[in-house]
Amino acid sequence: MARYGDVRVTYNHFGAIAARLPAAVGKIVRRTANDVERRAKVAIQSGHKTGKTYARSTTGKRRVHVTVHDTTTGAKRREWTGQRQTVTTRTTHRASAPGEAPATDTGELVNSISVEMTRQTEALVMVDAEYGAALEYGTARVAARPFLTPAAEGARAAFVRDMQKLEGELR
């Protein structure tokens, strides 16, 4: 016979909840890490930079073609001569101002950002470009152009909301 204040648990789901929890949290972590990656890439690729404009030159090789006229049919066709010509292209590049996300030029920084799930409930958002940290935090000579920290801050609210929703489902 149970006395006043005694509690007897006859049925519980604690084991099942504990078994499903890591997968549910991992799903939220993965979604958040992918959101941080996307936000960082968008910030870099957006065309709204206000820094200095620089003239730049790119030197490369291109094929030399000639136009051949067929006098009997009147047809024209281009043929490669087998030679290559050195060509210099002049363009401009608008840099980012201090405090803005870096301006993209070659795409190396954007292409170096990736996500790796290191554990079921842990993810890393990585930047493999050697100069990524220098842009994010600045150096003695160059002011910071953060792109990853603002992306993580932007994803924070959705992460907290998703975790609170999960907590509510467990109650």
pLDDT(34) > 90: yes
Q: How does residue 1 score in pLDDT terms, banded at 50, 70 and 90?
A: low
* The pLDDT of residue 155 is above 60: yes
Tally the residues of the chain.
Answer: 171
Residue 95 vs residue 153, higher pLDDT? 153
Amino acid at 64: V
pLDDT in tens, 49-86: 999 998 887 788 888 888 888 888 888 888 888 888 88
Query: If you average pLDDT over residues 23-30, what whole number do you get?
Result: 96
- Residue-wise DSSP of the chain: -PPTT--------HHHHHHHHHHHHHHHHHHHHHHHHHHHHHHHH-S---S-EEEEEEEEEEEEEEEEE-TTT--EEEEEEEEEEEEEEEEEEEPPPTTSPPPPSSSHHHHTEEEEEEETTEEEEEE-STTHHHHHH--SSS----SHHHHHHHHHHHHHHHHHHHHHHH-
Q: Is the pLDDT of residue 2 over 70?
A: no
- The 10s digit of each residue's pLDDT in 89-141 is 888 888 899 999 999 988 999 999 999 999 999 999 999 999 999 999 999 99
Instruction: Decide: 99 and 144 in contact? Cβ < 8 Å.
Output: yes
CA-based nearest residue to 112, from 94, 132, 95 = 132
What was the pLDDT predicted at 33? 98
**pLDDT score of 83:** 87
The answer to whether residues 136 and 146 touch, using CB atoms and an 8 Å cutoff, is yes
- Tell whether the model's pLDDT for residue 11 goes beyond 80: no
